[in-house]
Structure 1
């Protein structure tokens, strides 16, 4: 029996504004799409919080036994600045400023994005499609929207007719906005004269002569609208109707609202059962902003090379800090907060490492099975990681009582306590025991250096059979030796 069959999960659905019992469209399988980064700069710490939040969701669904198809896109057609329909493409602007090809910018910051998320111990998604790799699918989606009467072409650009759509649908269903209010509050922007209504948004934009990123289409050379890419890619890999769509709170409007409208206009029904939104991260009580200097990059946290924090902090400590707040809550990042998080993280790791010191007894005075269920109850309540962490510290308290001889457990209950802690801390929360890994690396380095010394001695004695045997055995274990004039070094593959 899979865990999901007896662990009912509730998810807060932004569409209904309520927690709903999760039921997947296909038994035992979940389709989840999360809006990925626009790769024109180093990944923002606030974005990392969003991706860590959905990594938690992904890990817990897998833990429950679901087969999860997790799709997270890369936006490598830089959508327009301020997410409007006019202005300069973010990636093209960065390329112009740095005198590089747009795809050099895309590659540079895609690599950075993946490196940072790997340091945070995020699991990679099952599919990571790019916007530029799905231009044909986007053009086909536009054709459907036009054929169904909700899109119109003007001077080589195609726009979505929001007012016409709203007659039989609800544009604003997700963000709880009223179209009449949106129309009356619309700003006068250049290029608005092409649109039938100020609220209409671009499905395809005509490329001006100087625009580098451009593709042929039935309406002339141009590039797709930002909202369109996620509609095309989510439905390609998850179907016209799927389980979960996630992203940051800032994407609820207009991006996700437009996605719902595009899907309904193209296919006739709403695409997603559960819309999930992660809240923002502030820094010292204020919005993070490069322009004001109230900003810190993930790598600056790990190296300590910043003016915000008192020292460097390990990626798992930063991850633990973020998971101490519920994903739907605003979280404030500060030196004091991450220092406190580091103390809690260290306590947790020390307790897990010391479970082997507990002596078994013939009877149990603690109800470990009930405590284990409380851990599940926390995660089943809309992935409530702070409540889970509070329960894990209750487990730490048990360990300390047991070590002090104030409580007793049978061998079976000690194993259950240890397995539950390890499972939730490492598999679900996705933390690493950084200190233990560092100690293991030091031990590995010591052993390999000892073998290198033995190999050098064998070579000096012309015992090449032993020398080759040591090299070959290490290679088989994924450890490559490199002989140079300065000596022998090694790398672990």
Structure 2
């Protein structure tokens, strides 16, 4: 029997606004599509949080024994600046500014994207298709939508007829918007004159003479609309209806709303069973924005080369920090929050490293099997990683008590404890227990011993301010000093 047959998982479905029992279309198999990056710049931390959340979900499904086809696309065409219906393609704009071929821009930032995700210990998706690799499929879907009367061609561009679609369908059901309200609140813009309604969105855009990225189509040279690519790729690899579609909350409208409309117009079926959306990441309590300087890239966190944080933080520690918040809640990143999280991360890894050396007894005070199920209960409640981490620290407390001889554990329970904590920490949360090399450890030990000696000298000279400062600053870095009869020792 597979684990998924024993564990009942509930997920928050954005389409219904409710937490629902997760039942895949095909028992034992899951199809999941997540909107990937538009590769015109270095991947930012907010995007990393979204992809990390779905990497964790992917990992948990695999842990439960499901066979998962996880599709995460690369947007390398069609995404216009400011998510608008008119204007310049984000990649083409970057290519023009840097005097590069658009595919040079795509290659550079796709490589950056993969490098950052590898540092964060992501599992690769099953399929990573590109928009430019599926132009034919997008053109074929447009033909079907036109044939069914839900799209129209004008001046070489093709638009989706939202008003007509809404007469027999519910446009806005994912985002909770009403078309009547959207129309009432829309100002007429000159650039929208060729559309029948301002709410209509582009399936295909005519390429003006200066437009670099262009493909032939039945309507003339042009390029596909941003929303269409995800419909084409998700249905090609997962079918007309599949289990999960994910992305950031900022994609609910218009992107995901338009995906639903395109799929329903072309094949008459609701494309997705469960819509999952991640929330945003803020920095020091404010929205991240390059324009205000309130912004930081993942690589800048890893290197410490920034003016926002006091030190560098490892990718695995940053991942642990992000897992301490539920994927649907806003998470604020700050220097103090990362420092506090680092202490917890080190404490967790230290406990894991201790399990093998725990002395075995004839009885166990800690109910390991109930604790194990509580870890599953947390994950089964819409992938509640903060609760899971709290349960892991329950185990850490008992590991330390056993180490100190205040509790005991049987050999069998010790095996269950070790296997469970490693499964959830490494396989599900995707953390890594990377230890320093012997040379690095020796250098660190020598440095701390030097500081201990300086602190000792300060105390002997009754310079208690310096003595306390050394102790407190080492503690802030996660290095604890312990004064004893035979001198001062330290632990990381």
Instruction: Using structure 2 for the length normalisation, give the TM-score.
Output: 0.89
Matches within 5 A, 1:474-493: none
Mapped to 2, the partners of 1:302 and 1:236 lie a distance apart of 37
Q: CA deviation at 1:338?
A: 0.6
User: Residue deviations 1:120-139, cap 9 Å, x none?
Assistant: 00101000000000000000
User: Residue deviations 1:317-340, cap 9 Å, x none?
Assistant: 110110000000000010001111
In structure 2, the residue matched to 1:204 is 204
Mapped to 1, the partners of 2:311 and 2:341 lie a distance apart of 14
In structure 2, the residue matched to 1:358 is 358
In structure 1, the residue matched to 2:309 is 309
Q: CA deviation at 1:104?
A: 0.2
User: Residue deviations 1:453-484, cap 9 Å, x none?
Assistant: xxxxxxxxxxxxxxxxxxxxxxxxxxxxxxxx
Is 1:298 aligned with 2:298? yes
Tell me: CA distance 1:247–1:440, structure 2 relative to 1, closer, same or farther (3 Å). Answer: farther
Matches within 5 A, 1:378-417: 378-417=378-417
Q: Is the 8 A contact 1:314 1:434 kept in 2?
A: no
Mapped to 2, the partners of 1:142 and 1:435 lie a distance apart of 53
Is 1:280 aligned with 2:280? yes
Matches within 5 A, 1:81-480: 81-435=81-435, 438=437
Q: CA deviation at 1:425?
A: 0.2
SS class of match (1:68): strand
Q: Is the 8 A contact 1:40 1:78 kept in 2?
A: no
Is 1:41 aligned with 2:41? yes
SS class of match (1:15): coil
Q: CA deviation at 1:362?
A: 1.3
User: Residue deviations 1:208-263, cap 9 Å, x none?
Assistant: 00000000000000000000000000000000000000000000000000000000
SS class of match (1:247): strand
User: Residue deviations 1:141-196, cap 9 Å, x none?
Assistant: 10111111100000000000000000010000000001011111123334211111
Runs of 4+ in 1 over 2 A off after TM superposition: 187-191, 438-443
Tell me: CA distance 1:441–1:129, structure 2 relative to 1, closer, same or farther (3 Å). Answer: farther
SS class of match (1:210): coil
SS class of match (1:354): helix
SS class of match (1:435): coil
Mapped to 1, the partners of 2:82 and 2:190 lie a distance apart of 14
Which residues of structure 2 form unaligned runs of 5+? 443-492
Tell me: CA distance 1:394–1:186, structure 2 relative to 1, closer, same or farther (3 Å). Answer: same
User: Residue deviations 1:72-106, cap 9 Å, x none?
Assistant: 00000051111111111110110011010000000
Q: Is the 8 A contact 2:279 2:327 kept in 1?
A: yes
Instruction: Using structure 1 for the length normalisation, give the TM-score.
Output: 0.88
Q: CA deviation at 1:53?
A: 0.3
Which residues of structure 1 form unaligned runs of 5+? 444-493
Q: CA deviation at 1:356?
A: 1.7
Mapped to 1, the partners of 2:78 and 2:111 lie a distance apart of 16
Count of aligned positions: 442
Tell me: CA distance 1:440–1:424, structure 2 relative to 1, closer, same or farther (3 Å). Answer: farther
In structure 2, the residue matched to 1:447 is none
SS class of match (2:365): coil
SS class of match (2:396): helix
Q: CA RMSD in A?
A: 1.2
Mapped to 2, the partners of 1:61 and 1:187 lie a distance apart of 45
Mapped to 1, the partners of 2:164 and 2:172 lie a distance apart of 14
